[in-house]
Structure 1
Amino acid sequence: QERCLALTICTGIEYRPGHCELWTRPAGVQATNALVNSVCLQRPSSPPPGAIQTKYVAHYMPWFVGFQSGVYDHWCVGNAHYQSYLGQYNLNDRAIVQQQLDLMKNASIDGVWIDYQLASWNAVIDIVMEETATRGMGVAIVVDSVTNPNIFIESRDKMIEWTNWPHYYRVNGNAVIPVFQTPDVNFEPFPFDAYYIVRRGGPPPSWANGTYPWVTPSLSVLDVYYQEDHTLSSFAVGAAYRGFRDCYKDRTLITPFLQMLEPTLMLASKYQPEFVQVITWNDYSEGTMIEPSWVRPRDVCLSTCVEENIQPCLTSSACDSGFDPLDCTKPYDSFSGPVDPQCNSTATANADDDLRLLTQHIRAEETGTLQVKYHAGMFEQKVVEAFNWYSRKAEYHPPATPQRVDGIFVKK
């Protein structure tokens, strides 16, 4: 890879174990097949079985801070279709953070990338920094300007403090600074060496050293990202996620989609980026959480901020989606058991099924037993409209196995 990056004629990289990955020629790059007058460049030999090749990191939301309206606590301002196995927790409680990190560590997750928007979250992040250090886990801070365009300026002192921890993620001596940017962000570089990698989508700002992918319903879009040139930051970041099913009272970001965890994991393993960001550990408002959880009943309060001046209790009917999406992949109102009755299915599920799948994948990759058989037609989404229903079907075609069809049915 390093030799390739030094050659102007080399314009692409395919990360695929056991194959010739780089064919250089004046016309560009052709992977896996030898060409006349071409030179094969191999990456350094793969680590022995048991060595970690890719670091899987969980995108972590520290915004659950004890039912306080003035600090953007998501039990107050958010809503959700799901319930955490820990209940509606307060991350100022160190025991909760310890339980979460122990679960991640047991799942072979290497560390956390912590979303950071407001100074009111500092105490939680301090706890996470301390507890990840004691567990030998890595950490990075995702500078997020969604609620605060001046976050770079206001976070300067804390970022200096946090990046000085020995377990902060670095590449070539540079602190890894992921940025969840908005157009109005007031960028000001921190006074230390850093790689600023921004969320992919449109032309990156001039100050960015690279990009990382975010949740998308299109595997082809994600595949294109992996094939792009990531030489600016000298490393690549992948993404793995279960899907997206948001529940905001005043907006809907995108049409819900699920059944994406296995395909995105397999796609990431095909390319072997340095990091794979698991999106997310605990964003309940957008339904991306990998933390064990189940579907909540529709008539139960989904927002329980206890202050009198806060909005009344919300149920899923308050979601501004125009329809009631069904998740038939998780248990209904319990850790283990049948799925949502409206799915009209006899299937059962466990709250930790997604996390178990992630764990199995990481461990198979670490031990060299993972069989990566990804192909372009493996996962195809089809949308069908019928009376009173919006149906998004995910047709899944693994090689050498029978076709399996999963469906997400969304009531209009």
Structure 2
Amino acid sequence: MKRYITLLFFGILNILIASGCSSDDKGSENQTEPETVQPIAIEKTNTTKIYVHYMPWFETNESAADKKWGYHWTMANKNPNNIGANNRREIAAYYYPLIGPYHSGDKNVIENHLLLMKYSGIDGVLIDWYGTYDVNDYRMVKENTEQLIAMLDKVGLEYAIVYEDRVTTNVVNAGKAISVTSAAKTDLAYLEKNCFNDANYIKVNGKPLLLNFGPIVLQTPAEWTNVFNTLTTKPAFVTLWDQSVEAGANASGEYAWVYKDNSFLTNFYTNTKPKLSVAIGSAYPGFKDFYAEGGGGAAIGWNIPHNNGATLDETLALAKNANLNYLQLITWNDFGEGTMFEPTVEFGYSYIEKVKAFAGVKNTENVFPDISKLYDLRLQKKGNADAQKKLDQVFNYFVSMQSVKAKQLLSEIK
């Protein structure tokens, strides 16, 4: 009888433990690491690859070594330490990011941006990149880019680099390289070694995609031939619209940008696109630069009104009619020129909602506010290891398209 009672006791105990009813089990559950998950692609009906141009150049007083706000928040005369009555910092922009001004290398910021992109149907990020040299803020941009790239794969997004060859002149003037072509060779050798072979680096016709904002300094085919000769794999090199002639046979195509009004975009689709092997279209919500008001130089000289989203509607419609293989959204976060798709105080999530509709995202659930809540809780629970682990699990749920579970867990974190 004793033996029977003993066996019965241990049997009941095992059932309790297995069912999670043991208080010890609950304690250990709180300490378990979030499960590692593979990202799942969002389902959508539009086959056009949708990429977004991204600026990794923002710095805050907390992230900077000199404890000063970076130029792209201040320009020459704005001070984000000044906080107005509406609780907004004084920044060099007409529009205000929904999460406030930020450091581009902040993992919480990157998490927020990439999850918003994923759920809006964006396939990847085209990163504006200033090379490898320690000149001006180029090293900071490089480090921020590396932080961004590190999370892209976890979210399930692709990426490619938009090389700013204009930086090569400053590199030479700083005595860091003997020539502009030498500087460019060093920069592209870094990309070949560290980026081009990544599984999520964008490939076009089997080659790594490399965009160039210009060319601006290296303006002859001979110079680009010289630069590319040292690479084992020649990239699919795509220049700014109407400028592939400066790269000659090295160029694989061109991409559209934003300029004055939508007629330039129409002209690109009608007259330029048919001649190109690779054509990347563009869509934008508007253009309003802050340079003159911010003391950052002369104004560009023209604006494209946002028109309460009508400009974006028009450029997306042009893209749809052009039957594009590739579309670049201009831009995620160039606040200085007012072309941002990133959610703002002024426009909320309306621009990425329009992208989501264009992409034909099948998941019609509204998750954007919940992704913002994840960011807010990251800040509120800073230093709380248990809460951060739960938030890591929320992230995992989001990237694996389990948004219902993500929302539920968010609601449980107090």
Q: TM-score, normalised by structure 1?
A: 0.59
Determine which of 164, 177, 200 is the counterpart of 1:144: 164
Residue 101 of structure 1 aligns to a residue whose secondary structure is helix
* Alpha-carbon displacement from aligned partner over 1:233-263 (angstroms, at most 9, x marks no partner): 6332110001110011221113111232111
Between the two proteins, the alignment pairs up a number of residues equal to 265
| AA matched with 2:47 | Q
Q: Distance in 1 between matches of 2:286 and 2:349?
A: 15
CA change 1:220–1:144 in 2 (3 A) is: same
Which one is further off, 225-234 or 250-259? 225-234
In 2: Cα distance, 1:229 partner to 1:362 partner = 24
Deviation string 1:254-312 (CA, Å, 9 cap, x unpaired) is 31112321111000001121111000000011111110113xxxxxxxxxxxxxxxxxx
Which position in structure 1 is the counterpart of 2:321? 270
Please say if residues 58 and 112 of structure 1, whose CA atoms lie closer than 8 Å, have aligned partners that are also in contact.
Answer: yes
What are the within-5 Å matches in structure 2 for residues 163-242 of structure 1?
Answer: 163-185=196-218, 187=224, 188-189=227-228, 190-201=231-242, 204-205=245-246, 206=248, 207-228=250-271, 230=273, 234-242=277-285
Greater per-residue strand proportion: 1
CA distance in 1, matches of 2:146, 2:130: 14
Q: Check conservation: 2:130, 2:142, Cα contact below 8 A.
A: no
Question: Residues 115 and 50 from structure 1, CA distance in 2 versus in 1: closer, same or farther, beyond 3 angstroms?
Answer: closer
Gaps of 5+ in 2: 1-42, 77-91, 133-138, 170-179, 365-414
TM-score (norm 2): 0.59
In structure 2, distance between residues paired with 1:153 and 1:66: 31
Q: What is the distance in 1 between the residues matched to 2:362 and 2:256?
A: 21
Partner SS, residue 236 of structure 1: strand
Structure number with higher helix proportion: 2
Give the alignment partner of residue 185 of structure 2, picking from 153, 178, 186. 153
Residue 53 of structure 1 is matched in structure 2 by: 47
Paired with 1:102 and 1:56, the residues of 2 have a C-alpha distance of 15
Which one has the largest radius of gyration? 2
- Residue from 110, 127, 143 that aligns with 1:123: 143
Counterpart selection for 1:352 from 340, 349, 353:
349
Once the two structures are superposed, the pairs formed by residues 237-316 of structure 1 within 5 Å of their partners are 237-248=280-291, 249=295, 250-259=297-306, 260-294=311-345
Measured in 1, the distance between the counterparts of 2:69 and 2:245 equals: 30
Q: CA RMSD in A?
A: 2.7
Contact 1:223–1:267 (CA under 8 A) maintained in structure 2: yes
Corresponding letter in the other structure for 1:162: C
Q: In 2 relative to 1, CA 235–157 (structure 1 residues): closer, same or farther, beyond 3 Å?
A: closer
- Give ranges in structure 1 of 5+ residues lacking alignment: 1-48, 295-330, 332-349, 368-412
Q: Is the 8 A contact 1:58 1:113 kept in 2?
A: yes
Is the CA contact (8 Å cut-off) linking 1:173 and 1:193 kept in structure 2?
no
C-alpha change, 1:72 and 1:232, in structure 2 (3 Å) is farther
